[in-house]
Amino acid sequence: MLAITRSDVLGQLKQVKGPDFTDDIVSLGLVSEISIVDGKVFFSITVPTGRAEELELLRQTAEKVVTAIDGVNSAVVTLTAERKHGTEEKSMFSLRSAAHKQLRIAPRRPIEGVKYIITVASGKGGVGKSTTAINLALALKESGLTIGLLDADIYGPSLPRLVGIHRRPESHDKKLEPLEQYGLKLISMGFLVDEETPMVWRGPMVMGAITQMLRDVLWAPLDVLVVDMPPGTGDAHLTLAQQVPLSGSVIISTPQDLALADARKGIEMFMKVGVPILGIIENMSYFIAPDTGRRYDIFGHGSVRLEAKKRKVAFLGEVPLDPQIRAASDEGRPIILAKPYGLHAKRYRDIAQVIIKKLEESPIPNHAKGDKVLENVSGQYNNPST
Ligand code: ADP
C-alpha cells in the first residue's frame, strides 16, 4: 500500500466547502499543518471565532472525506478559532490568504507570553514521568525562571496529589487562572473535575481539553511551560505537537527493556512530527540501600544511556530509585523541596541546567520575534527553598 501524503489529504479536502460556501477549505487557506502518523491523520481547520459549534458539520465532513482515503485508519480534525485583532494579526491573516494559493499551511500558533513549551513524555506509565516533570519544573524555577506545569494526562491526572492541592481554579473573562503552588503555575484536569467522578472521555474531548488547558489558561508571562504528557504515544501528543511550536521533549525511561522499547516509540513519534528531543533520563536507575549504602543495579542500570547513544539523542542523566521520592510525592512535597540538599535534588538541578542550555540553542522557541529569550540563567541558582 502506498504511503498517504499531505497532498492526498489536501486533494480530498478540496471537496469540503468553507464556512460560507464561497470556496473550498483548502483554497481558503483554512487547513493547518497536516500530520500523518501510522495511518492517522491530524489537522485543524481555522473558523471564525464563535462559530465552532455551528460548523461542527464542516468538521465532521472533513473527517469523513479524509477517512475515506485508502490507507487512512482515522482522521482527527479540530476547529480552531481565527484570531482577529490588531493590525499585525490582520497582516498575518492576509499573508496567509495570499499563501493559500500555493497551498501553504498555517503555522502552529504560539501561546502569547510563553517563551518555551517543552513536554515530558514516556512510552509507558509508572516510569516516574510525572515525578520527574514536577521536580524538573521546580529545578527550572530555582534557576530564576517563571515556570508553568500543565498536566496533560486527562485520564489519570497526578498533579493534585504531587503538589498536595485540590482547589478549583478561578476563572476571569472565560479564562482560567492557573493555581499556584511552590512558585509554579499549575493546571490539571484533576483540579477541574471531581476525582471521584469517573469521566468517560472520547478522543475529540481529550483534544479539546488539552487545547483549552493550553489556550484558555492565563499562563503569561512564562519562561517555560512544562507539559507532563499522558503515557504512550496517543492522540494527545499529536494534538499538542500540531497546535503549538514545541521547543523539545524530554523522554523518561526506566532501564528495563520494555520501558526502553516504549521510549523508543515515543522518540520516533516526536521526531516524526518534528519535535526536537532534548534528551532521555534514566529513572529508577539503580538502588542504594539506605542501611548499608550498597548499590544495586536492579533494573539493568545504563541501558538508557546506551540507547540514547544509539539514537544520537542526548542522555540527560540518571535518577536512582529511592523510597524517599515516593514518600515525598505522596506527601505532596516533591523531593527537590523535601530534601533540597540530597542527591536527587542535585540530579534534577543538573538536568534542568542542560535543558536550559538546550533551550537557549533551541531552533523552535515558542516566542515571537524580538522577544527576549532566556537570559543569563545557566549556572545560576537561587538558594533552594526548603
Ligand atoms: P508516571 O507519571 O510515569 O506514571 P509517576 O511519576 O506517577 O509515574 O511515578 C510512579 C510511582 O513511582 C510513584 O509512586 C512515584 O512516587 C514513584 N517514583 C517515581 N520515580 C521514582 C524514583 N526515582 N524512586 C522511587 N520511586 C519513584
* pLDDT at 365 (0 to 100): 57
- Rounded to whole angstroms, the maximal C-alpha distance in the chain is 76
- Atom 6 in ligand 1: which residue has the minimum CA distance? 128
Q: How confident is the model at residue 272 (pLDDT cuts 50, 70, 90)?
A: confident
Model pLDDT for residues 292-338, shown as the tens digit of each residue: 877 887 777 888 898 899 888 999 999 998 888 999 988 999 999 99
Nearest-atom index, ligand 1, CA of 153: 2
How far does residue 104's CA lie from ligand 1's centre (Å)?
43
> Are the beta carbons of 336 and 132 closer than 8 angstroms?
no
> Are the beta carbons of 217 and 187 closer than 8 angstroms?
yes
- Atom 13 in ligand 1: which residue has the minimum CA distance? 326
Helices within the chain (DSSP H only): 6-13, 56-67, 86-100, 129-142, 159-163, 189-192, 203-215, 235-243, 257-272, 303-311, 323-330, 335-338, 343-360
Tell me, using a 6 A CB cutoff, whether residue 325 lines ligand 1: yes
Average pLDDT over residues 357-363: 82
80's grid cell: 480552531
Nearest partner of 211 among 154, 275, 274, 268, judged by Cα: 154
How far does residue 240's CA lie from ligand 1's centre (Å)?
24
pLDDT at position 193 over 50 = yes
User: Could you tell me which residues come within 8 angstroms of residue 110 by beta carbon, excluding any fewer than 6 positions away?
Assistant: 244, 245, 366, 367, 368
Pick the range with the lowest mean pLDDT from 22-31, 120-129, 376-385. Answer: 376-385
Q: How confident is the model at residue 197 (pLDDT cuts 50, 70, 90)?
A: low
- Atom 16 in ligand 1: which residue has the minimum CA distance? 326
Q: To the nearest whole number, what is the mean pLDDT of the chain?
A: 80
Q: How confident is the model at residue 40 (pLDDT cuts 50, 70, 90)?
A: confident
Q: How confident is the model at residue 117 (pLDDT cuts 50, 70, 90)?
A: very high
- Atom 8 in ligand 1: which residue has the minimum CA distance? 128
Q: What does DSSP say about strands 40-47 and 35-37: parallel, antiparallel, or unpaired?
A: antiparallel
> Are the beta carbons of 275 and 121 closer than 8 angstroms?
no
Global pTM exceeds 0.85: no
Q: Which of helix, strand or coil describes residue 155?
A: coil
User: What does the CA dihedral 99, 100, 102, 105 come to, rounded to 10 degrees?
Assistant: 90
